A and B are shown apart, each in its own frame.
Chain A
């Protein structure tokens, strides 16, 4: 039951190094330690408490490029977009007080979606801590529930060790955010330091070996299952398990139902893919889970948006749960077999053992599932994802389909949260991991635009589209200035319906159409707004304008904002009402 003894030793064992008159400052050590971690990109916003650090950054500007955002929330979302697109650790630098509190939404978002970021926050000088000083806030206290770990650094001599451990924690195991809070005087203090001080920490990097017996039992369950389903999530992309997953699914001809975070971890257009499961998942995916006799859950956490009513989720299934975070196992659903391990490692071991199987036995196993596949095909054919087209109004689903055609399904897509997000999940067939960057767990409006900026930086040669709602866009649109300043040619596609669409849909369906405070039709002219920022603004109001406008956006070299006026009261279907059985989907509107 021991946790991570080696890590816990790092700081407790640090010898106290007496401050010395010569030697580097805390700020210099910080920049050096970041460089040592391979950091060449920082998203940030300066302020009083981080002036010494910014002074060092100025000197280090040939090694580290700092991207000046327009709001600290934007900085964290950019770092998340950067991390999610590249697999590297995103880095943020903000000042104390409001700088830190503005960053909290992004930190919580990264925590929920297991995104590796390190956020460095300034703090008031040590002697002022606890005095309600100017721009003082208890950053470590505020962020404690939404980080993997956080630090208040008290000595300049601790900085190198803390940075080393912070990066290790952010990217190891289940990735996540780490906050380093550094008082201003610590960044100014001089101390003795040599680069060797921070290279020798004994972090265990190798994953613990997987119990072969469990793997064999899991394999036996797969071979003998008549109605298996693979339920896969964000752990696939995080562990780079997409190829192992694909081989495993293909070897055993297993149907694959990804979560929102799992989209792209398995190609959406693959014949074994059932499409997303859960609240707005496909009929086939939810029915298959409901009737499965074996659910192989990999890199997932049985989120309520997936399971609906827990008691009736996959009621006939044995559950095998594979996840890197032992605390996820048994949290919501008690599995009959679990493997606490990296998804790629577990899947490849399953595959290795699977290939040792007797060929004939394997064929028998696959043949025995013919009926299951027939059933699944019948569900897919009877209730495909669909929507009613319109000659006069642009249907939001057609926007996503058109975007897919124009980008050949290759674009990186970021989103906010809400209806547009679900339509992206349903109608843009993702081909590869890290292609969809969305706010899954926290459901953060305003995530899409800054995340796109970060993703564009990480993937300069890929087209990056932020598909956002008119509500979410107005929460972080100031980051257009950042995109323009650094010439990061993101395309922002506003699905403009003048409503907070998902809330309106729930009010329509579950609150007798009482549209309480969801009308946001009084809004800026988004084309003019784009122009005011120095970006290209385009608008599509009629179905016949859609193709040309989107094509123009794709072709333009710079930042583009596309204001697409979509049908105002479109709903996302299917929908599993909150807390209902996941097989009790509402497939379409009553009146339609």
Chain B
């Protein structure tokens, strides 16, 4: 099963490679990885999409928690959550039917044209993995020449009061520590 792990790690040189190295050394798989600042710039959030049964995921979480500069690890997938990824796609489409087809897909998927030339377009799409995958599949027959994807970021939904309190607690931790 696919899991999205959110790892809060000190923003220091070498810490990302510690996490990535742990995955390769222990034979865990990384489908996508993305890294960015948290509310507190001293801490980074590493979002890793991985696959495994419950025991494997538990091992991954525990092994990441052993790292001295990792503050917390949680499996976003265990609770309702929102996932997003962005793709920049270069499509071969000169003026005419092909370009019209691209533009209508862009419209349907609420994507954006971010660059254009006589023969090509670059479109920006974001959404969950399935949406981006579908968009790419529909563009493929028209002629994709390049794709760059960000990998997932994810965040838990604002659900019950208790859970929201939990989130605020984490934010407070991030700010104070």
| Stretch among A145-153, A443-451, A467-475 lining the B interface | A145-153
| Nearest opposing residue in chain B for A4, CB measure | B68
- Decide: A149 and B68 in contact? CB cutoff 8 A: yes
What CA separation (Å) do A1 and B25 show in the bound complex?
Answer: 22
| Stretch among A7-15, A112-120, A456-464 lining the B interface | A7-15
What CA separation (Å) do A452 and B140 show in the bound complex?
Answer: 67
Pick the contact of B12: A11, A325, A327 (CB < 8 A): A11
- Decide: B17 and A8 in contact? CB cutoff 8 A: no
Question: A21 at the A/B interface (Cβ < 8 Å)?
Answer: no
What CA separation (Å) do A7 and B69 show in the bound complex?
Answer: 8
Contacts of A144 in B (CB 8 A): 14, 17-18, 21
- Decide: A330 and B59 in contact? CB cutoff 8 A: yes
Question: B73 at the A/B interface (Cβ < 8 Å)?
Answer: yes
Contacts of A169 in B (CB 8 A): 68
What CA separation (Å) do A11 and B10 show in the bound complex?
Answer: 9
- Decide: A145 and B55 in contact? CB cutoff 8 A: no
**Chain A, 124-149, contact with B by CB distance < 8 Å: what is the 0/1 string?**
00000000000000001100110011
**Chain A, 237-267, contact with B by CB distance < 8 Å: what is the 0/1 string?**
0000000000000000000000000000000
Pick the contact of B73: A3, A148, A149 (CB < 8 A): A3
Question: A386 at the A/B interface (Cβ < 8 Å)?
Answer: no
- Decide: A7 and B25 in contact? CB cutoff 8 A: no
What CA separation (Å) do A40 and B10 show in the bound complex?
Answer: 33
What CA separation (Å) do A9 and B40 show in the bound complex?
Answer: 12
| Nearest opposing residue in chain B for A13, CB measure | B42
What CA separation (Å) do A10 and B84 show in the bound complex?
Answer: 33
- Decide: A327 and B10 in contact? CB cutoff 8 A: no
- Decide: B177 and A9 in contact? CB cutoff 8 A: yes
**Chain A, 540-554, contact with B by CB distance < 8 Å: what is the 0/1 string?**
000000000000000
| Nearest opposing residue in chain A for B42, CB measure | A12
What's the least CB distance linking A331 to chain B, in Å? 6
What's the least CB distance linking B4 to chain A, in Å? 15
- Decide: B25 and A8 in contact? CB cutoff 8 A: no
- Decide: A12 and B12 in contact? CB cutoff 8 A: yes
Contacts of B104 in A (CB 8 A): none
Contacts of B69 in A (CB 8 A): 8, 149
| Nearest opposing residue in chain B for A12, CB measure | B42
What CA separation (Å) do A434 and B12 show in the bound complex?
Answer: 38
- Decide: B71 and A330 in contact? CB cutoff 8 A: no
Contacts of A141 in B (CB 8 A): 14, 17
**Chain B, 47-87, contact with A by CB distance < 8 Å: what is the 0/1 string?**
00000000100110111011111111110000000000000
- Decide: A5 and B68 in contact? CB cutoff 8 A: no
| Nearest opposing residue in chain A for B66, CB measure | A327
On chain A, the number of residues with a Cβ less than 8 Å from chain B's Cβ atoms is 25
What CA separation (Å) do A288 and B127 show in the bound complex?
Answer: 57
What CA separation (Å) do A325 and B59 show in the bound complex?
Answer: 12
Question: B160 at the A/B interface (Cβ < 8 Å)?
Answer: no
What's the least CB distance linking A333 to chain B, in Å? 10
Which of B10, B18, B42, B71 has the largest count of A CB atoms less than 10 A from its CB? Answer: B71
Evaluate whether A8 and B58 lie within 8 angstroms (CB atoms) in the complex, with A2-B72, A3-B70, A144-B17 already known.
Answer: no
- Decide: B13 and A2 in contact? CB cutoff 8 A: no
What CA separation (Å) do A141 and B13 show in the bound complex?
Answer: 11
- Decide: A3 and B55 in contact? CB cutoff 8 A: no
A 514-539 contacts with B by CB, 8 A = none
What CA separation (Å) do A308 and B62 show in the bound complex?
Answer: 24
B 5-46 contacts with A by CB, 8 A = 10-14, 17-18, 21-22, 25, 42-43
Question: B148 at the A/B interface (Cβ < 8 Å)?
Answer: no
Evaluate whether A152 and B14 lie within 8 angstroms (CB atoms) in the complex, with A1-B61, A5-B177, A8-B71 already known.
Answer: yes
What's the least CB distance linking B53 to chain A, in Å? 11
Question: B173 at the A/B interface (Cβ < 8 Å)?
Answer: yes
Q: 23 A-B pairs, CB-CB below 8 angstroms?
A: A1-B65, A1-B73, A2-B71, A3-B66, A3-B70, A3-B71, A4-B68, A5-B173, A5-B177, A8-B68, A8-B177, A9-B177, A140-B14, A144-B21, A145-B21, A148-B68, A149-B68, A326-B62, A327-B62, A327-B63, A330-B58, A330-B62, A334-B55
* Residues of chain A whose beta carbon lies under 8 Å from any beta carbon of chain B: 1-5, 7-9, 11-12, 140-141, 144-145, 148-149, 152, 169, 325-327, 329-331, 334
Sorted nearest first, the 9 A-B pairs with minimum C-beta distance are: A327-B62, A149-B68, A3-B65, A2-B72, A12-B42, A145-B25, A8-B71, A3-B70, A327-B63
